[in-house]
Amino acid sequence: MSGSKITEQQNSRSHQIDTLSIQEILQLINSEDALVAAAVQATIPEITNFVEKVVLRFQIGGKLFYVGSGTSGRLGILDAAEIPPTYSADPMLVQGIIAGGYNALVKSVEGAEDIPEDGAKAVEEFGITEKDVLLGITASSSTPFVLGALEEAHNMGATTGLLICNRPPQLNWIDHIIPIITGPEIITGSTRMKAGTATKLALNMITTTAMIKLNKTYGNLMVDLKASNNKLWDRGTRIIQQLTSLNYEKARILLESAQGEVKAALVMHKKNTSFGEAKTLLEENEGKLRNIL
């Protein structure tokens, strides 16, 4: 069995996979996974162009939306969900759309991906505008729900992108195409494997880089953290310790006085200001802690 799409072709290295031992199967899967990073690396110029546009849109009040079905949709929603707690970002800044709705997060919704009009309707329901960016995610490059959403977003003036693991399609409503060619899967057509791994890597790169450029970090420290659970209170306290001369107890007290906001706490300490004054300084410097410190 083979198809014109790379992701549907048989992998010649796994033709006899059912005859292998457990360890041999694991080694084979791992050897295929080792190829993914290089495939992502080959598309860094395309990812760069896309992230530059995302940052520009964020700076004028725009949002980033992911749209996908199945594994692709779930990965988009996962990446979006991790942005607010990691970077204290507005939960609406990065959002995920999945064919079949949120029920499709935990179980397959058969046929949900086959209707392009449903993708267009989702774009309307999420209120996507000309300020926003919509990234379609589809390993096959041809999921109707995703393509319908992208065409509708383009008609609304939004910036559009398409992350795929096949040869780029010729579509005039796509502004940016990111073709990560990971090759045939170990199990034919099982794009939750290498294609899914490549997608996760690319989405991490996109949002992490965008957050850095929005001044959400100081060096490699996530200083825009807002403590909301025990782990984050501990992490925030340790960041303050690292960037000041305070011991753990005093750093924790400072973080509490800054209502759990690490950036504000650092400004309060370095500039000997109140919480309100620290927030004003941060606003005046567009959140760039390095400018203040």
Active site residues: 82, 113
- Buried (b) or exposed (e) across 192-218, using 16+ Cβ within 10 A? bbbbbbbbbbbbebbbbbbbbbbbbbb
CA–CA distance, 212 with 210 (Å, rounded to integer): 5
Q: How many CA atoms lie within 13 A of 271 on its CB side?
A: 21
**Three-state secondary structure string covering the chain:** CCCCCHHHCCCHHHCCHHHCCHHHHHHHHHHHHCCHHHHHHCCHHHHHHHHHHHHHHHHCCCCEEEEECHHHHHHHHHHHHHHHHHHCCCCCCEEEEECCCHHHHCCCCCCHHHCHHHHHHHHHHCCCCCCCEEEEECCCCCCHHHHHHHHHHHHCCCEEEEEECCCCCCCCCCCEEEECCCCCCCCCCCCCCHHHHHHHHHHHHHHHHHHHHCCCCECCECCCCECCCHHHHHHHHHHHHHHCCCCHHHHHHHHHHCCCEHHHHHHHHHHCCCHHHHHHHHHHCCCCHHHHC
